[in-house]
Amino acid sequence: MCSIFGMFDLQPGDDLAALRQQALECSRRQRHRGPDWSGVYVDAGVILVHERLAIVDPASGAQPLRSRDGALALAVNGEIYNQAELRAASGYDFTSGSDCEVINALYREAAGQPPAHWLARLNGIFAFALWDGDRGRYLIARDPLGVCPLYWGHDLQGRLCVASEMKALVDLCADVREFPPGHVYDSADGTLARWYQRPWRDHAHTRGVRVEPAALRAAFEAAVHRQLMTDVPYGVLLSGGLDSSLVAACAARFARARIEDGDRSEAWWPRLHSFAIGLDGSPDLAAAHIAAEALGTVHHAFVYSFAEGLDALPEVIRHIETYDVTTIRASTPMFLLARRIKAMGVKMVLSGEGSDEIFGGYLYFHKAPSAQAFHDETVRKLDALHAYDCLRANKAMMAWGVEARVPFLDLEFLDVAMSMDAAHKMAGVQADGTRRIEKAVLREAFAGALPESILWRQKEQFSDGVGYGWIDGLKAHAEQAVSDREFAAAAARFPYNTPATKEAYFYRAIFERHFPGAACAATVPGGKSIACSSPAALAWDPAFANAADPSGRSVAGVHAAAVAG
């Protein structure tokens, strides 16, 4: 991945040289995302800046990507996993081996069709800005689930500005806000439109649909295979939980062949490396060791201290650009792990985000009263994922120039997994009195792929799994750092999303130092939640509807009962 910065709607009297320097300065603030090269494009109506992290085609894929005739300029943060098929079907005159250049090709060959028509052909993660100099037209678009971050706003002169991270716009745009996932802005008609639609969003379209275990497994293995597309050293994040272990198991199966030439030659880096982090004695480190031994990965386990995590918090919040409690708790060890991974020369990792949203893996899903309610909550979770786990995985890793890919959110796999009737996904106590573990349908599909202790391991949130002392220590520190007087006045200082705990207040104060103003605060979703659950889901069980702590351990009765049983 990379970072992009764009400035549009420039006027004839604008000082392009001065604006170019301003754009470079704004883009510099997100250069950690793309430390390999910087590219700038300036035209009468636009300035595009790209900071590159070279993963595919390091030799010739520098951006902004230009068409052969010079009319198109494209700045992209992302990966297009079906680029080989799209290239083969295109008559476009490609100028590089970049996977992202197919965006220029699809635009050029769209023959006046709405952007939604050709955007739907992309299977990947992306945020891009495309300039068509011949037409004086530009497009801004973001992938369906918001895996790649994107923000936009207007400067004092009304120019539209767009950037991969909010820090590039915070001093430039008073109205900075998040660009919505699955949407495209077209300057030709000034519209912001949703381009990503799927019938499975409505439970009625999934009712009675069964996906056989073999089909579910094959679809996920294909997703991992697609996302191994890389020309640089890579690895897998391995917490020892079900999701990361399944990603690692699939990656290990394909690691010895080079995906880029159809598995015909030996991979440039045939040994799969796995990475884990935790406090001393953490559940994740122990489980990750078992999984790595079984899969034969070259495993790297890192131990961090509470003090090291606490020291990193201000920098973590600056990078991930949120004050959400759960996200900060989990981002900190991930941020520390990314630094270790970067030091080893690895530039891309596969991660397990998205599985819990698709299959109802969070412990409160045990309380779902019906398949309809279960399905609706998974859809809502997917819609919110860009503000939580996708944000965490992307920004915590990219803080050190490491790209995180998320095979569970591969669009082809998502269509298979979400088309399944949620009746087959439900967890908790069944009609016959037995207890069904969360994500049982996924575990059953991968029978034999992992040790039984890993395949059937109880759900742990990442911030819990790194060691319970992490969350407990953060709470204790916040109690000391935030006075009772400060906390009593929280509503006056923070009228939007008023912190409900001293820990939340502590994070919010750090966030405000880096991102002052109401617009920045409003980029973080509001509302008290358990694992970001919806009001409807909170009504499933009064025992956890009023809980302030979003840790998985706070879901009354579920974690303890599952561990004991």
Report, as residue numbers or ranges, the catalytic residues: 2
In degrees to the nearest 10, what's the CA dihedral of 406, 412, 413, 417? 130
The three-class DSSP label of residue 140 is strand
Dihedrals phi, psi of 126, to nearest 5 degrees:
-165, 155
Q: Please compute, for residue 30, the number of CA atoms within 13 A of its CA located in the half-sphere on the CB side.
A: 32
Cα–chain-centroid distance for residue 360?
A: 18
* Contact between 272 and 235 (Cβ < 8 Å): yes
Distance CA 432, CA 551 (A): 30
Residue type present at position 486: E
Distance CA 409, CA 144 (A): 10
Cα–chain-centroid distance for residue 120?
A: 19
Enumerate the β-bridge partners of residue 299: 274
CB contact burial 501-510 (16+ within 10 A = b; e otherwise) = bbbbbbbbbb
Q: At which residue do the structure tokens 């490609």 appear?
A: 94
* Contact between 169 and 163 (Cβ < 8 Å): yes
Closest CA to 128 of 156, 149, 159, 114: 149
Q: Which two tokens stand for residue 305?
A: 């201290």
Is the bond leading into 451 cis (omega within 30 degrees of zero)?
no
Q: Which two tokens stand for residue 444?
A: 């059953």
CB contact burial 53-86 (16+ within 10 A = b; e otherwise) = bbbbbbeebbbbbbbeeeebbbbbbbbbbbbbeb
Q: Name the strand (E) or helix (H) holding 65.
A: strand 65-66
- CA dihedral (79, 81, 85, 89) positive or negative: negative
Q: How distant, in Å, are the alpha carbons of 114, 147, 394, 414 from that of 150?
A: 22, 9, 11, 22
DSSP label at residue 388 = T
Work out whether strand 428-429 and strand 435-436 pair parallel, antiparallel, or are unpaired: antiparallel
Is the bond leading into 283 cis (omega within 30 degrees of zero)?
no
Closest CA to 425 of 354, 353, 365: 365
Q: How distant, in Å, are the alpha carbons of 325, 393, 502 from that of 332?
A: 11, 11, 18
Q: Which two tokens stand for residue 428?
A: 């908790």
